[in-house]
Amino acid sequence: MFKKATTSINNKLLAGLITLFSSNMFAAWDDLNMTEGVTAISKEVFDLHMLIFWICVVIGLVVFGIMFYSMFAFTKKKNPNPATFHENTKVELAWTVVPFLILVFMAIPASNTLTKIYDDTEGDINIQVVGYQWKWQYKYLEDDIDFFSNLTTDWDEIYNKTPKGEFYLEEVDEAVVIPVGKKIRFLITANDVIHSWWMPDFAIKQDAIPGFINTAWTIVDEPGIYRGKCTELCGKNHGFMPVVVKVVPQDEYDAWVQDKKDAAFRMAELTEKDWSVAELTERGEGVYLKNCVACHQVNGQGITGIFPNLAGSDIVLNDKAGNIEILMEGVQGAAMQSFANQLSEVDMASVITYTRQAWGNAGKGDGKIVVPKDIVEYNKPKV
């Protein structure tokens, strides 16, 4: 109760400050403070933030008040003869004990909230979140749904060739979908380097660390689309791997789950289909632009010394088996990751075929293409 009251007073004080300091040019004050978020925990965290903020403001006003008073009242002109006192044990004791008590007062609610956050019991829905350079993978453990979430902001927008959209750098091809009112548990890990999964509206920030599974949970009551980001430096495109969560009513969620299962079935059918080179190349270009272009670049030439050149590469031209293996297994000790779990058989085959056809590679090497069945074959247990 007390906390709620202070919050509303805080908001009024803040509103007063806005009118004092802000002009129309700047975003509203709300955009300059921590988000309150949409969960019980995120609101508690916000209250803690405002409580400690106001404690600091009050202490600051007292200390700086005395300091500025001294600066004006005790100049050499006004006070030519300085006092000579230089110690006082009682005063020292007081300003040791009083701050200590304030800290204890602050530590109690903080410890309570922290204890609430540390609940690692199972959720109604358990989602594994895996950080990759530079995208997120989401696996719904109960429903066997599995997809990657990539930034969709166009590189032309980033390089200022086209105007920037409303959700510049905060939009993805596929958002995590969760239902309202259910306890969702996230199991967070990483495939390559350390990432960090941050959703400010849920007050969740949890590092994604290779070899570890961290947990976080939330219950969201307000449907909506919420946007967050990766917050641990994870290499070149750290700034370009947002987190988007879509919270929907239960029936909408159920329908979405069914859709995802149907799509998986259709994908299996596509794998059986007979593909032409042109079809594979066309599909492969899309896959390449989404998954490979960040390192190997649009022209396939990579970046000298870090990311290998694919145009004219011997493996791409002449070594079909080796080519498939690199994409399926990744390269130990290098930035090249395994795409076996990230791409379907169809997408895997088409992107390899695309690299064997693009940038003047066509006709230079052995001319072999890769079809989805090659990938199925690769995945069969070897005897």
- Subset of residues 240 to 299 that bind other proteins, contact rule: CB under 8 A: 240
Q: Restricting to residues 145-164, which ones interact with other proteins according to CB under 8 A?
A: 157-160, 164
Residue 306: phi and psi, rounded to 5, are -120, -55
Q: At its nearest, how many Å lie between other proteins and the CB of residue 145?
A: 25
Q: Which residues on neighbouring strands pair with residue 204, listed in sequence order? A: 199
CB closer to other proteins, 36 vs 347: 36
Show the site string, 9-48: x = touches other proteins by CB under 8 A, - = not.
Answer: ----------------xxx---xxxxx-----x--xx--x
Give the containing element (helix H, strand E) for 106: helix 89-117
Query: How far, in Å, are 130, 171, 190, 254, 320 from residue 152 at the CA level?
Result: 19, 6, 21, 25, 31
Q: What secondary structure letter does DSSP report for 27?
A: P
DSSP, collapsed to helix, strand or coil, labels residue 282 as helix
CB closer to other proteins, 333 vs 363: 333
CB closer to other proteins, 192 vs 345: 192
Asked if 171 contacts 179 with a C-beta cutoff of 8 angstroms, the reply is no
Which residue's entry shows tokens 């849920």? 202
Q: At its nearest, how many Å lie between other proteins and the CB of residue 162?
A: 10
Q: At its nearest, how many Å lie between other proteins and the CB of residue 196?
A: 6
CB closer to other proteins, 8 vs 89: 89
Which residue's entry shows tokens 């399926």? 328
Q: Restricting to residues 64-123, which ones interact with other proteins according to CB under 8 A?
A: 64, 66-67, 70-71, 74-76, 79-88, 91-92, 95-96, 99-100, 103, 106-107, 110-111, 113-115, 117-118
Q: At its nearest, how many Å lie between other proteins and the CB of residue 286?
A: 23
Q: At its nearest, how many Å lie between other proteins and the CB of residue 149?
A: 17
Q: At its nearest, how many Å lie between other proteins and the CB of residue 256?
A: 26
- Interacting residues of 188 by C-beta distance below 8 A, sequence separation 6+: 128, 129, 131, 197, 206, 207, 208, 213, 214, 215, 216
